[in-house]
Amino acid sequence: KMNCCGLLTAQKEPVPLKSVEVELEVRDHVATVVSTLNYENKEDKPLEAVFVFPLPGDAAVCHFSATIGQRQIVAEVKEKQEAREEYDDALSSGQQAFLLEESEQSPDIFSLSVGSLPPGESASIRLEYVTELAVQADDGLRFCLPAVLNPRYQPQGASVQVTSVPASLVPYSLSFSARVSSPRPVSKVESNCSLDPLQYLNPEQTQATVKLAAGHKFDRDVELLIYYKDAHQPTAVVEAGQASAKPGTLMGDPVVMLSLYPEFPQAVMSSVASCGEFVFLLDRSGSMDSPMDHSKRQESRIGSARDTLLLLLKSLPMGCYFNIYSFGSRFQHIFPKSVKYSQKTMKESLKKVEEMGADLGGTEILEPLKHIYSQSCIPNQPRQLFVFTDGEVGNTKEVISLVKKNSGSHRCFSFGIGEGASSALINGLAKEGGGHAQFITGTDRMQPKVMQSLRFALQPAVVDISVTWDLPKGVSVTVLSPPITALFQGQRSLIYAQLTGESSKAAEGCVTVKYSLAGHPSQNQLHFSLKPAEDTGLTVHRLAARTLIRSLEMEERERRGEQDKGVKKKVVEVSVQSGVSSVFTAFIAVNKGDGEAVQGPLVRRNVPTPSECGIPGALEIQGSDRRAGTGRTLRSQLAKSQEPRAKSVPPSLLNKQSGTEPKQTPRDPLLQLVSLQKASGCWVLDPALAAALGKTRKKVNQEVWATILALIWLHGFKVDAQDEWQLLAMKAVSWLRAQNASCVTECVEAGNVLLGCNVKKDVLGL
> According to the model, what pLDDT value does residue 463 have?
81
> According to the model, what pLDDT value does residue 76 have?
94
Question: What does the DSSP assignment read for 183-252?
Answer: SS-EEEEEESS-BPPPEESSTT--EEEEEBPTT-BS-S-EEEEEEETT----EEEEEPPPTTSPTTSTTT
Helices (H) and strands (E) in the chain, counts: 17, 32
Whether residues 468 and 445 fall in one domain: no
Domain end (from 614, 630, 645) = 614
Query: Is there a contact between 433 and 457 (Cβ–Cβ < 8 Å)?
Result: no
Q: Looking at the 3D structure of the chain, how many domains does it have?
A: 4
Domain-located, residue 323: yes
DSSP-derived 3-state class of residue 66: strand
What pTM value is reported for the model? 0.76
Whether residues 415 and 518 fall in one domain: no
Whether residues 315 and 367 fall in one domain: yes
Whether residues 69 and 104 fall in one domain: yes
Whether residues 293 and 407 fall in one domain: yes
426 is in which domain, residue-wise? 276-381+383-458
Domain-located, residue 245: no
Name residue 223's beta-bridge partners.
Answer: 144
Domain-located, residue 249: no
Within 8 A by CB and 6+ apart from 625, the residues are: 601
Burial 272-307 (b: 16+ CB within 10 A, else e): bbeebbbbbbbbbbbbbbbbbbbeeebebbbbbbbb
Domain end (from 531, 566, 590) = 531
Of the chain, the end-to-end C-alpha distance in Å amounts to 74
Name residue 67's beta-bridge partners.
Answer: 72, 124
Whether residues 306 and 214 fall in one domain: no
DSSP-derived 3-state class of residue 622: coil
Which amino acid belongs to residue 698?
Answer: K
Whether residues 442 and 476 fall in one domain: no
> According to the model, what pLDDT value does residue 561 have?
58
State how far Cα 58 lies from the chain centre: 10
Whether residues 501 and 388 fall in one domain: no
Sheet bearing 476-479, strands edge to edge: 235-239, 255-260, 493-500, 476-479
Whether residues 720 and 747 fall in one domain: yes
CATH code, domain carrying 119 = 2.60.40
> According to the model, what pLDDT value does residue 602 have?
56
Whether residues 516 and 600 fall in one domain: no
Whether residues 288 and 394 fall in one domain: yes
DSSP-derived 3-state class of residue 641: strand
CATH code, domain carrying 349 = 3.40.50.410
Domain end (from 563, 590, 614) = 614
Domain-located, residue 297: yes
Domain-located, residue 7: no
Domain-located, residue 398: yes
Domain-located, residue 292: yes
Domain-located, residue 623: no
> According to the model, what pLDDT value does residue 538 have?
92
Walking along the chain (766 residues) 10 residues at a time, the average pLDDT comes out as 29 60 92 88 76 80 87 92 93 88 81 80 89 84 74 36 42 82 91 88 94 76 87 86 90 92 74 81 89 69 87 88 92 94 94 90 88 89 90 81 87 86 88 87 73 83 87 92 80 90 80 86 88 83 94 80 77 94 92 55 50 30 30 27 30 32 54 83 67 50 87 89 87 88 85 87 86
State how far the Cα of 219 lies from the Cα of 224, in Å rounded to an integer.
16
Whether residues 483 and 451 fall in one domain: no
Look at residues 88, 41, 43, 17 and name the one whose alpha carbon lies nearest to residue 627. Answer: 88
The sign one gets for the Cα dihedral 751, 753, 756, 761 is positive
State how far the Cα of 476 lies from the Cα of 497, in Å rounded to an integer.
10
> According to the model, what pLDDT value does residue 151 have?
43
- Can you state the percent helix, strand and coil of the chain, rounding each to 5? 25, 30, 45
